[in-house]
Amino acid sequence: MPAGSAVKPQFPFLDLKAQYASISGEVEAAVSRVFESEIFIMGPEVSAFEEEIKPQTGCEFVFGCASGSDALLLALMALGIGPGDEVITVPFTFVATVGAIARLHARTVFVDIDPSTFNLDPRKLEAAITPRTKAIIAVHLFGLCADMDAILEVANRKGLPVVEDAAQAIGAQYHGKLAGSMGTFGCFSFFPSKNLGGAGDGGLITTNDPELAETIKLLRNHGSRTKYDYVVLGINSRLDALQAAVLRVKRRYLNQWTDGRRKNAARYRDLFRQSGSDNAIQLPIEPKDRFHIYNQFTLRTARRDEMKAHLASEGIPSEIYYPHPLHLEPAFRDLGYAAGAFPEAEKCAGEVLSLPIYPELKDEQLQAVVHAIADFHEGRR
């Protein structure tokens, strides 16, 4: 190795192998249990998982389904959303939020975001409501709850249900209330990169409304209460028993993993302050009334693309969630929105950069990330 050269850090943006190494025996035993039972669709594993996850959702009724995308679709189906209806949400979110609306041939009406939280700006909500508005989807992006009191105040006054897109926010809290427990429905994803991730696709839908709970039960299983008895037109969206078994193991560690993410977020803030680079970037905020679970640690910088390239050259992984607001995506061109319609979402899309935050990160890796960012801003390349 040449004199003065340094070994660059090598670690992934998300290390699922490290997570698996700590629980592999338990996961393998759970999977074997399912194969020995030969019950792969619904059954005791799914029922047990649904019961065990309740305390971490704050809801009386919880139903596993095939994905977080399907959770959103099922929620809107249960609310009777259809052609000609309007559903309000934000343009700065994953495509599944808007995809669920489009699949029911309803119209998405966008509201811009609060740039400090990346979530729906409730000050702009009421102006978007029309006689055709039938629901609001509030996204808890990156693990931080939206301003639910303000959103629900408008929604309740207008008689509108609120669906919480909590795909990235299991365990997050707002005024002590768990994400997914405040609106009409809560929708969660168990995609492997989530804080509680399965071994493939999976989702969960929650509610405290017994009538809507019965509707969801029907809709996720072809609209059938008993075999060959079709009460309504539903879909096939059941959580696999194998996924439920894996999630039963991982659920027991969720609070511990959340603590690890929160500790890493606090450490990032300390390191950025010590380096002096916190003045050159905008770190994610955690309002006093909220409990952030950091599915992503997302900062903002006007020089995002340059900084990402510099980090890559130093062996530091980073990701962009999301590079384009949905109102500018070709798939949603028919909504008729143009550039400039939602300036905060558009600006965020050009400035956000997410850093590794998973609980297995070592302190020297966090230091390497911050050092590389400090170097970038000081011009030492």
Q: Please give the torsion angle defined by the CA atoms of residues 265, 267, 273 and 274, in that order, rounded to the nearest 10 degrees.
A: -160
Per-residue pLDDT tens for 307-347?
A: 999 999 999 999 999 999 999 999 999 999 999 999 999 99
Fold for domain 254-378?
A: Aspartate Aminotransferase, domain 1 (3.90.1150)
Per-residue pLDDT tens for 117-149?
A: 999 999 999 999 999 999 999 999 999 999 999
Question: pLDDT at position 9, please?
Answer: 75
Flag residues of the chain having pLDDT under 50. 1-5, 381
Fold for domain 17-251?
A: Aspartate Aminotransferase; domain 2 (3.40.640)
Per-residue pLDDT tens for 28-59?
A: 999 999 999 999 999 999 999 999 999 999 99
Per-residue pLDDT tens for 52-61?
A: 999 999 999 9
Pull the structure tokens for residue 35. Answer: 């194969």
Sheet order of strands, 173-174 included: 177-178, 173-174, 290-291
Question: pLDDT at position 3, please?
Answer: 41
Q: Any idea where the domains of the chain sit in the sequence?
A: 17-251, 254-378
- Own/partner contacts of 51-57, CB < 8 Å, gap of 24 or more, are 52/248, 52/251, 53/204, 53/247, 53/251, 56/170, 56/171, 56/178, 56/251, 56/254, 56/255, 57/170, 57/178, 57/180, 57/181, 57/186, 57/188, 57/204, 57/206
Pull the structure tokens for residue 327. Answer: 């109102």
H or E, element range at 299: strand 297-300
Question: pLDDT at position 5, please?
Answer: 47
Question: pLDDT at position 378, please?
Answer: 80
DSSP code string of 161-198: -EEEE-TT-TT-EETTEETTSSSSEEEEE--TTSSS--
**Predicted structure pTM score:** 0.95
Amino acid at 287: P
